């Protein structure tokens, strides 16, 4: 597959670098090109006074042509890319999935299947621990 590592944080919507308990993962989501003019990448609107993006904005805007897209539909069309060391088989690999968090073992996470063993690898929200299954009596 050969994913390309980002060279700058300006290219990205999301980035995470995780390392705990034999599990390593580097994950990112690239900004999308404008679907109308194909000249610039979509980004959040910029505050005129400070020159910084409006973080809580509900839309993404093209700085060239002014095309607007809702935040939810824009982020759902992006691709989550990850390089990892599998916690199950210990092999290094890479994969992609939609940029949508799903609930896995009670925790919101991005779920990528391991390319070697096929087990699910969960990139959890805020390093939360998955819930343990209860033993039957």
Which tens digits make up the pLDDT trace of 46-79? 899 998 989 899 999 998 888 999 999 998 899 9
* pTM of the predicted model as reported, rounded to 2 decimal places: 0.81
Summarize pLDDT for 5-20 with one digit per residue, the tens. Answer: 889 888 899 999 988 7
- pLDDT for residue 33 is more than 80: yes
CB 81 within 8 A of CB 89: no
How many angstroms separate the Cα of 21 from the Cα of each of 27, 65, 90, 133?
Answer: 17, 47, 11, 19
Predicted pLDDT of residue 135: 60
Predicted pLDDT of residue 81: 94
Residue ranges per domain, the chain? 1-32+78-129, 35-76
Summarize pLDDT for 73-89 with one digit per residue, the tens. Answer: 998 899 999 999 988 88
């Amino acid at each position: 597959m050969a994913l390309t590592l980002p060279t700058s944080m300006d290219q990205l919507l999301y980035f995470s670098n995780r390392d705990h308990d034999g599990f390593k993962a580097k994950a990112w989501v690239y900004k999308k090109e404008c679907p109308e003019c194909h000249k610039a990448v979509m980004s959040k609107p910029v505050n005129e006074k400070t020159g910084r993006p409006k973080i809580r904005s509900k839309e993404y805007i093209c700085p060239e042509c002014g095309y607007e897209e809702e935040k939810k539909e824009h982020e759902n069309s992006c691709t989550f890319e990850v390089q990892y060391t599998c916690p199950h088989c210990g092999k290094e690999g890479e994969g992609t999935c939609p940029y949508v968090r799903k609930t896995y073992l009670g925790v919101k996470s991005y779920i990528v299947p391991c390319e070697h063993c096929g087990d699910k690898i969960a990139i959890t929200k805020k390093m939360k621990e998955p819930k343990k299954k209860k033993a039957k009596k």
